[in-house]
């Protein structure tokens, strides 16, 4: 057998694979509230009374359905963050890109989102942050454009 037959062939190019994502009943209500009312909603578990935001149809602790919708945030405390230097085509913001783990007021779960700060050095565990909503909201998680320190 020839060695050329055992080597892979690389053909440069791009393949476009368009798709649609069905958010489901719970995520759809969450996204519509962001878009139409600039409100961050969570759900309270009927058993353990924990509030999950973003909402889940089933409590992550008790595994029972959640139907009790409550408003959380729009402020909270930064739990942790990471700073990414360098721009990538899929990043929704310019460098440095900061992702934060946020404990929203009224929620028992943490919320991951973009943080915008004049200087990354001004961010630390426990700093208060608030949501800044996009002007042009479309029913997407980026209807919250970012969180900023207050």
> pLDDT (tens digit, 0 to 9) for every residue of the chain, 150 residues total?
555 667 788 888 888 888 887 889 999 999 999 999 999 999 999 999 999 999 999 999 999 999 999 999 999 999 999 998 877 777 766 678 899 999 999 999 999 999 998 888 889 999 999 999 999 999 999 999 999 999
DSSP 101-114: EEEETT-SS-EEEE
Predicted confidence at residue 146, as pLDDT, reads 95
Predicted confidence at residue 110, as pLDDT, reads 96
Smallest CA-to-CA distance from 44 within 64, 29, 24 is with: 64
Rounded CA-CA distance 110/57 in Å is 16
Rounded CA-CA distance 143/106 in Å is 20
In contact, 149 and 122? CB cutoff 8 Å: yes
The helices-and-strands tally (H runs, E runs) of the chain is 1, 8
How distant is the alpha carbon of residue 136 from its chain centre?
A: 17
Bridge partners (DSSP) of residue 78 are 102
Predicted confidence at residue 1, as pLDDT, reads 53
Query: Residue 49 — left, alpha, or beta (φ > 0 → left; ψ -120 to 50 → alpha)?
Result: left
Q: Is 77 helix (H, G, I), strand (E, B) or coil?
A: strand
């Amino acid at each position: 057998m020839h060695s050329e037959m055992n080597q892979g062939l690389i053909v440069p190019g791009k393949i476009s694979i368009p798709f649609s994502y069905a958010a489901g009943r719970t995520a759809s209500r969450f996204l519509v509230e962001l878009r139409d009312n600039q409100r961050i909603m969570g759900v309270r578990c009927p058993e353990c009374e924990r509030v999950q935001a973003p909402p889940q149809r089933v409590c992550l602790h008790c595994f029972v359905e959640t139907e009790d919708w409550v408003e959380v945030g729009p402020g909270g405390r930064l739990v942790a963050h990471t700073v990414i230097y360098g721009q990538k085509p899929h990043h929704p913001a310019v460098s440095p890109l900061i992702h934060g783990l946020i404990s929203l007021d009224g929620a028992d779960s943490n919320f991951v989102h973009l943080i915008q700060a004049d200087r990354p050095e001004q961010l630390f565990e426990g700093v208060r942050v608030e949501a800044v909503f996009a002007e042009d909201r479309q029913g997407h998680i980026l209807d919250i454009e970012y969180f900023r320190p207050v």
